[in-house]
């Protein structure tokens, strides 16, 4: 169950990156860092990251860092997937294969053989 929560932290980091991207797009469009829309995205992203960080610390008290940390790499897979669907960014087949390799690496890193 701890690994499921760790996976959600990794995916949560990816969602935070989406919020930062929305902030950056709003800043570019509005031309100022102090517009209401930019600040709303910014504080949403920072708040979300803060919540994920607190949750991550809670998880670290329940499992080994070395077993949990590979789940942070889920963000490397989740961000491009989200950016494809939300921002219509395109990626090559090789890029998709790389994401699959990252996910396979996570599975290998945390897999425990039953002894």
Give the start-to-end residue ranges of the domains of the chain: 2-110
Q: In terms of Cα–Cα distance, which of 107, 33, 110, 29 is closest to 68? A: 110
> How far apart are alpha carbons 45 and 21 in whole angstroms?
9
Q: Given this model, what pLDDT does residue 106 score? A: 87
Assess whether pLDDT exceeds 90 at residue 1. Answer: no
Q: What is the dihedral of CA 51, 53, 58, 59, to 10 degrees?
A: 120
The predicted model scores a pTM of: 0.82
At 70-102, the pLDDT tens digits run: 889 889 889 998 999 999 999 899 999 999 998
Confidence tier at 114 by pLDDT (50, 70, 90): low
At 38-69, the pLDDT tens digits run: 999 999 999 999 999 999 999 999 999 988 99
Q: Which long-range contacts (CB under 8 A, 24 or more apart) does 86-92 make?
A: 86/18, 87/21
């Amino acid at each position: 169950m701890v690994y499921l929560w760790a996976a959600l932290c990794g995916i949560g980091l990816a969602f935070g990156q989406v919020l930062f991207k929305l902030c950056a797009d709003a800043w570019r469009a509005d031309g100022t860092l102090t517009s209401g829309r930019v600040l709303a995205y910014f504080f949403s992203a920072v708040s979300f990251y803060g919540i994920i960080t607190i949750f991550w610390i809670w998880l670290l008290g329940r499992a080994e860092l070395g077993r949990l940390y590979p789940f942070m790499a889920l963000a490397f897979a989740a961000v491009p997937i989200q950016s494809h669907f939300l921002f219509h960014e395109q990626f090559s087949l090789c890029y998709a294969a790389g994401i699959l390799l990252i996910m396979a690496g996570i599975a290998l890193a945390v897999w425990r053989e039953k002894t």
